Amino acid sequence: MARIVMKFGGTSMAGTERIRRVANIVRRHQEAGHEVAVVVSAMAGETDRLVNFCREANALYDPAEYDVVVSSGEQVTSGLLALTLQSMGCKARSWLGWQLPMKTVEAHSKARVDNIDSEALISAMQSGEIAVIPGFQGVSMENRITTMGRGGSDTSAVAVAAAVKADRCDIYTDVDGVYTTDPRIVAKARKLKYVTYEEMLELASVGAKVLQTRSVSLAMKENVRIQVLSSFVDENAPLADDMPGTMIVSDDEMEDVDMERQLVTGIAHDKNESRVVLTRVPDQPGAVSSIFGPLADASINVDMIIQNVGRDKGETDVTFTVPQADLARAQALLEEKREAIGYNRIITDAHVAKISVVGVGMKSHAGVAATMFKTLADRGINVQAISTSEIKVSVLIDEDETELAVRVLHTAYGLDATDEAA
């Protein structure tokens, strides 16, 4: 017997037929003797519909009223799942954010969970009642509805799991786990049985979007074990207890379960970056902050930064990347500041990709970066920029070479599945 939190996303909740399939999965786990809480997203497309209403009503919308509107999608699915579970003979009830209450702090529309009053919730779960909780929503100290940013239901689920001290938080998605790389690119990609929080964070932040990044940070902080697994399973599929998905765990647990782990866990790619080069920037104190200060003020997130050796004395080229969605805004801003910065030309290239090699194992092993550069060089792939962290090496390359780079790196680090594709 365990206490588990299960979370289902919008695709799984899209319509009463799919909700019935979700209810079946929940019912099977309760019948296995578990205490169960379920966190649900809105039906796929519903939150977009509601956000559009808000934008039409008021372009500069008040986030407090925005939250009133957009939180309704999860309210609907939580009620419907409770009804469906009841129709199968299960005891179930919905607990809205303000009913728990799930108290949040900070701004509306990007609230953070502060605390959840778990006493009533735990006692309901212990009595055999399935607790159905709308994700994404909470309540502020002023008793107004709050929401936690798009994808916030993952974070809700982890917060609930921490509050009720769950043995596990099973996050059901439209993929069946976390892979060594994108299986659409590499047929020999393997599903990982375990991945650490830090690795998951790096994989998520470089484009392998399975979970909301914040949910992983919160799980790491609260030491909540997460399993990523598929909601598209039939009546005879193994229970989540059999660990059919990928477990996201602490470094410590990882050492216990996987002594012989690889140096590299996975290869991620991200085509949403753009490269910006400013030529002939004066090589003097304050030049860099005159570039990145205004970008930061405009909430444009700069990722990789390289300052090339200047061709002329006292001048240097500065290269950096920004999200493609922000490129036009960044360019306009930089052109406006041209005099102040004192650069010569601005060159932009949206046709780039960031490839990242991620693995907690590389902390203690040199040579991972060297292998990466050599592998790419052998195939004639030019590296335009590099950035590294303790458990990640990223390079910027031409977008057309994305698939080739991922494939050769996957092989080079010994990640290819042996017998059969996963």
Tell me which residues touch a copy of itself (CB under 8 A). 16, 19-20, 50, 53-54, 56-62, 64-69, 71-73, 75-76, 78-84, 86-87, 93-94, 96, 98-99, 143-145
Residue 194 counted as an annotated binding residue: no
Task: Enter the tokens of residue 323.
Answer: 């999200």
Return the number of the residue (61 or 413) whose C-beta is nearest a copy of itself. Answer: 61
Beta-carbon contacts of residue 264 (< 8 Å; ≥ 6 apart)? 357, 358, 359, 361, 362, 368, 413, 415
Residue 8 counted as an annotated binding residue: yes
Cβ of residue 194: shortest distance to a copy of itself, in angstroms?
37
Task: Enter the tokens of residue 131.
Answer: 């607790």
Which backbone phi and psi does 130 adopt, to 5 degrees? -80, 125
Return the number of the residue (14 or 350) whose C-beta is nearest a copy of itself. Answer: 14
Is the separation of the CB atoms in 244 and 298 below 8 Å? no
Cβ of residue 87: shortest distance to a copy of itself, in angstroms?
4
- What is the spatial distance between Cα 330 and Cα 96, in angstroms, rounded to a whole number? 40
Cβ of residue 33: shortest distance to a copy of itself, in angstroms?
24
Beta-carbon contacts of residue 123 (< 8 Å; ≥ 6 apart)? none
Q: Which amino acid is at 335?
A: E
238: preceding bond cis by omega (within 30 degrees): no
Residue 184 counted as an annotated binding residue: yes
Return the number of the residue (85 or 376) whose C-beta is nearest a copy of itself. Answer: 85
Cβ of residue 54: shortest distance to a copy of itself, in angstroms?
6
Residue 104 counted as an annotated binding residue: no
Return the number of the residue (86 or 331) whose C-beta is nearest a copy of itself. Answer: 86
Return the number of the residue (37 or 96) whose C-beta is nearest a copy of itself. Answer: 96
- What is the spatial distance between Cα 167 and Cα 172, in angstroms, rounded to a whole number? 16
Residue 74 counted as an annotated binding residue: yes
Residue 173 counted as an annotated binding residue: yes
Cβ of residue 145: shortest distance to a copy of itself, in angstroms?
8
- Distances in Å between the Cα of 375 and the Cα atoms of 88, 208, 337, 370 are 56, 22, 40, 8
User: DSSP alpha helices (H): ranges in 312-401?
Assistant: 327-336, 338-341, 368-378
Is the separation of the CB atoms in 270 and 296 below 8 Å? no
Is the separation of the CB atoms in 191 and 179 below 8 Å? yes
Cβ of residue 215: shortest distance to a copy of itself, in angstroms?
25
Return the number of the residue (16 or 308) whose C-beta is nearest a copy of itself. Answer: 16
Task: Give me the sign of the Cα torsion angle 216, 217, 222, 223.
Answer: positive
Q: Please state the residue numbers annotated as binding site for ATP.
A: 7-10, 173-174, 179, 184, 209-210
Q: Please state the residue numbers annotated as binding site for substrate.
A: 47, 74
Q: Please state the residue numbers annotated as binding site.
A: 7-10, 47, 74, 173-174, 179, 184, 209-210
